[in-house]
């Protein structure tokens, strides 16, 4: 498919529209990614917020890939547990439930504002006012709620109801006290005003100015950890992506201290030990190989060795041996992927966790709950190290294929991010699936001792798996639990195509 400017895949039509507006105005892929990220904070408020953080994997047309780390940072001071407002909330995914923790005590130092300004300064062509304008207009004029966003809101409704301010971005104007239904319009006037002020005053407003003072005062008063030093000392970190050769393709992804990228690359190293492409897609041998790689990768994470050298460390070599023997039979996050006609590639993943329930007064900005995320606090709550960039599963990823095509991908979904990205890569490389099929194909996810399977699963495959995996959960349909891997591709001839993940209302737009 030929395009004049570029292609974007994102989790909401308005998020993609904002990116398209930037491309049409002469912006590059990075302009589009920044515009889309601001818009996602309005259109996808369950998943994205300027009170969260994220990562951008940027590949300039004539340069090396570069990773922008603007994820959340742990506070420099830790209040005693008895003074902290950190409370549990149970979230129901339909076929599974998960406990999260919210409240001011769950807020880590947010990096989204600093990250977007840094990306704009380094890589973008258009004025920031142009990039923010679609998001501001969406917030002021109102957003018509999609079925996918309504579904996400119902899942995390207990968190949204933590405060009237948090609920406001999801409330029905026709039925006070209820969630807005698909087709209803929701206005966010405070957020519109905040976006205008942020463009006028810059990131200092958030980290050193009036907004910072409001946040610090509230954290001190209602049981949060953040101090003035946390906000003023926050820095965006630029890193070299981690890379791996996989079956004549090259994968670039998020490096440590983020864990997701290292786990994905190790799983690919494991899959390289078996002839995966020779197995029927979705059948027993294929699923067995994927599940085994996920189980062994989980072992590395549990033992704190996710970043070891897979070719030298004795444990890694042992696990590679297990893979050869066993692989065959006898979490609020959104993804934005952009490619432009000049060859610039951008994969941006942003997360607010599920939101803390605390809204920065007068702004409509919901702060993150990263200190309350079990997935990124495996040692237990209140045990986080001070002043440390929080490790994340978010894995914006670039895949360079042997035919000269480049694919930009990544996913939402907490611990499911690594399995979603792994399977998109494998489906493209091992099975040669078209992009839309690679993104939409049923997924699996292994965690704890449970093997989760998306339908359809042939009865013969299920029966064979049950002999090796005693705990299996067969989901009733494709589900948001398995992530949202919105992806784009720039082919060797310059043609562009995209695929939004149907699990999270994804959409693709060619401009």
CB 48 within 8 A of CB 350: yes
Residue 314, pLDDT above cutoff 90: no
**Predicted confidence (pLDDT) at residue 329 exceeds the cutoff of 50:** no
Please tell me the predicted confidence (pLDDT) of residue 304.
Answer: 55
**Per-range mean pLDDT, top range of 160-174, 193-207, 281-295, 324-338:** 193-207
pLDDT at residue 245 greater than cutoff 90: yes
Within 10 angstroms of residue 364's Cβ, the number of other Cβ atoms is: 26
Of the pLDDT bands very low, low, confident and very high (cuts 50, 70, 90), residue 100 is: confident
User: Hey, what CATH topology would domain 239-332+394-510 get?
Assistant: 3.60.20
Question: Lowest mean pLDDT: which of 53-62, 107-116, 202-211, 468-477?
Answer: 468-477
The predicted-structure confidence for 406-451, as pLDDT tens digits, reads as follows 999 999 877 889 999 999 999 999 999 999 999 999 999 998 889 9
Average pLDDT of the segment spanning 6-14: 96
Task: Give the whole-angstrom CA distance, residue 61 versus residue 136.
Answer: 30
Does residue 324 surpass a pLDDT of 70?
no
Rounded to an integer, what distance in angstroms lies between the CA atom of residue 495 and that of residue 189?
A: 39
What is the 3-class SS of 194-262, one letter each residue? HHHHHHHHCCHHHHCCHHHHHHHHHHHHHCCCCCHHHHHCCCCEEECCEEEEECCEEEEECCCCCCHHH
Find where tokens 């099929």 sit: 437
User: Which secondary structure element, helix H or strand E, spans residue 315, and what is its range?
Assistant: helix 314-326
Higher pLDDT, 340 or 85: 340
CA–CA separation, 435 vs 467, rounded Å? 33
With beta carbons less than 8 A apart as the criterion, state whether 79 and 105 touch. Answer: yes
User: Of all helices (H) and strands (E), which one includes residue 466?
Assistant: helix 459-466
Contact 462, 448 (CB under 8 A): no
Tell me the mean pLDDT in the region 388-399. 91
Poorest-pLDDT segment among 22-26, 233-237, 376-380, 385-389: 376-380
Contact 381, 123 (CB under 8 A): no
Identify whether 456 is preceded by a cis peptide bond (ω within 30 of 0): yes
Model confidence band, residue 484 (pLDDT cutoffs 50, 70, 90)? very high
Confidence of residue 312 (pLDDT cuts 50, 70, 90): low
- Asked if the model's pLDDT at residue 155 lies above 50, the reply is yes
pTM: 0.92
pLDDT grade, residue 321 (50/70/90)?
low
Active-site choice (333, 334, 349, 409):
333
Asked whether 293 and 239 are in contact (CB, 8 A), the reply is no
Cis peptide before 257 (omega within 30 of 0): yes
Contact 308, 315 (CB under 8 A): yes
In the numeric block, the tokens 């981690």 are attached to 242
In the numeric block, the tokens 């060619």 are attached to: 510
How confident is the model over 264-276, as a mean pLDDT? 90
- Tracing tokens 């953040």 back to the chain, one arrives at 226
pLDDT at position 496 = 95
Q: Is 89 helix (H, G, I), strand (E, B) or coil?
A: strand
Res 2: pLDDT: 45
Task: List all residues 6 or more positions away from 297 whose beta carbon is below 8 Å from its beta carbon.
Answer: 263, 266, 267, 270, 306, 418
Mean pLDDT within 156-184: 89
* pLDDT at 84 > cutoff 50: yes
Local confidence band at 482 (pLDDT 50, 70, 90 cut-offs) = very high
CB within 8 Å of 226: residues ≥ 6 apart? 75, 107, 109, 215, 216, 219
Residue-level pLDDT at 317:
53
Domain segments of the chain as ranges: 7-237+334-376, 239-332+394-510
Q: Of 108-117, 118-127, 430-439, 464-473, which range is least confident?
A: 464-473
Q: Is 262 left (phi over 0), alpha (psi -120 to 50) or beta?
A: alpha
Judge whether residue 382 has pLDDT over 90.
Answer: no
Q: Which among 427, 390, 397 has a CA at the least distance from the CA of 411?
A: 397
The residues that bridge with 253 in the sheet, in sequence order, are: 242
Residue 221 class from Cβ within 10 Å (0-12 exposed, 13-18 middle, 19+ buried)? exposed
The answer on pLDDT for 345 being more than 60 is: yes
**43 CB neighbour count, 10 Å cutoff:** 29
pLDDT at residue 378, rounded to an integer: 64
CA dihedral angle for residue 45, residue 382, residue 206, residue 19, rounded to 10 degrees: -30
Backbone angles phi, psi at 37, to 5 degrees: -65, -45
Q: How many CB atoms sit inside 10 A of residue 220's CB?
A: 15
What is the per-residue pLDDT for 81? 81
In this prediction, residue 82 has a pLDDT band, given cuts at 50, 70 and 90, of confident
With 90 as the cut, is the pLDDT of residue 506 above it? Answer: yes
Q: What is the pLDDT of residue 327?
A: 47
Q: Which two tokens stand for residue 141?
A: 């004029």
Among 90-99, 177-186, 322-331, 475-484, the least confident range: 322-331
**pLDDT > 70 in the chain, percent:** 91
Question: Is 333 a known active-site residue?
Answer: yes
Q: What is the mean pLDDT of the chain?
A: 89
pLDDT category of residue 375 using cuts at 50, 70 and 90: low
């Amino acid at each position: 498919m030929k395009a004049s400017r570029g292609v974007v895949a994102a989790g909401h039509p308005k998020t993609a529209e904002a990116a398209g507006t930037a491309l049409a105005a002469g912006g590059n892929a990075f302009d589009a990614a920044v515009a889309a990220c601001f818009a996602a904070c309005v259109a996808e408020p369950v998943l994205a917020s300027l009170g969260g953080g994220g990562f951008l994997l940027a590949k300039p047309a004539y340069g090396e890939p570069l990773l922008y780390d603007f994820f959340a940072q742990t506070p420099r001071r830790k209040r005693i547990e008895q003074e902290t407002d950190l409370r549990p909330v149970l979230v129901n995914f339909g076929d599974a439930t998960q406990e999260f923790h919210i409240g001011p005590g769950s807020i880590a130092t947010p990096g989204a504002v600093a990250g977007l300004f840094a990306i704009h300064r380094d890589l973008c062509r258009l004025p920031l006012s142009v990039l923010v304008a679609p998001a501001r207009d969406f917030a002021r004029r109102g957003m018509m709620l999609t079925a996918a966003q309504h579904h996400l809101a119902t899942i995390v409704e207990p968190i949204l109801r933590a405060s009237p301010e948090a609920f406001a971005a999801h409330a029905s104007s026709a039925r006070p006290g209820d969630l807005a239904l698909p087709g209803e319009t929701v206005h966010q006037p405070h957020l519109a005003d905040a976006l205008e002020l942020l463009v006028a005053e810059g990131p200092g407003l958030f980290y050193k100015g009036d907004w910072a003072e409001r946040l610090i005062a509230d954290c001190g008063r209602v049981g949060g950890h953040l101090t003035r030093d946390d906000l003023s000392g926050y820095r965006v970190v630029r890193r070299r992506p981690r890379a791996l050769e996989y079956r004549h393709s090259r994968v670039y992804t998020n490096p440590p201290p983020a864990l997701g990228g290292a786990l994905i690359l190790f799983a690919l190293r494991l899959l390289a030990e078996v002839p995966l492409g020779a197995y029927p897609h979705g059948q027993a041998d294929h699923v067995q190989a994927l599940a085994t790689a996920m189980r062994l990768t989980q072992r590395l994470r549990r033992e704190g060795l996710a970043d070891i050298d897979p070719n030298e460390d004795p444990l890694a070599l042992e696990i590679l041996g297990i893979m050869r023997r066993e692989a065959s039979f006898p979490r609020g996050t959104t993804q934005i992927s952009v490619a432009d006609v000049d060859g610039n590639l951008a994969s941006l993943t942003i997360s607010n966790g599920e939101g803390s329930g605390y809204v920065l007064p007068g702004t409509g900005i919901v702060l993150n709950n990263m200190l309350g995320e079990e997935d990124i606090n495996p040692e237990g709550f209140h045990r986080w190290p001070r002043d440390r960039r929080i490790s994340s599963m978010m894995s914006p990823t670039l895949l360079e294929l042997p035919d000269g095509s480049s694919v930009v991908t990544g996913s939402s979904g907490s611990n499911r991010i690594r399995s979603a990205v792994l399977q998109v890569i494998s489906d493209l490389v091992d099975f040669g699936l078209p992009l839309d099929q690679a993104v939409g194909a049923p997924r699996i996810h292994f965690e704890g001792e449970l093997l989760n399977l998306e339908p359809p699963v042939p009865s013969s495959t299920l029966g064979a798996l049950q002999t090796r995996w005693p705990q299996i959960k067969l989901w009733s349909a494709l589900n948001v639990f398995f992530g949202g891997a919105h992806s784009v591709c720039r082919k060797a001839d310059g043609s562009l195509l995209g695929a939004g993940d149907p699990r999270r209302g994804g959409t693709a737009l060619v401009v």
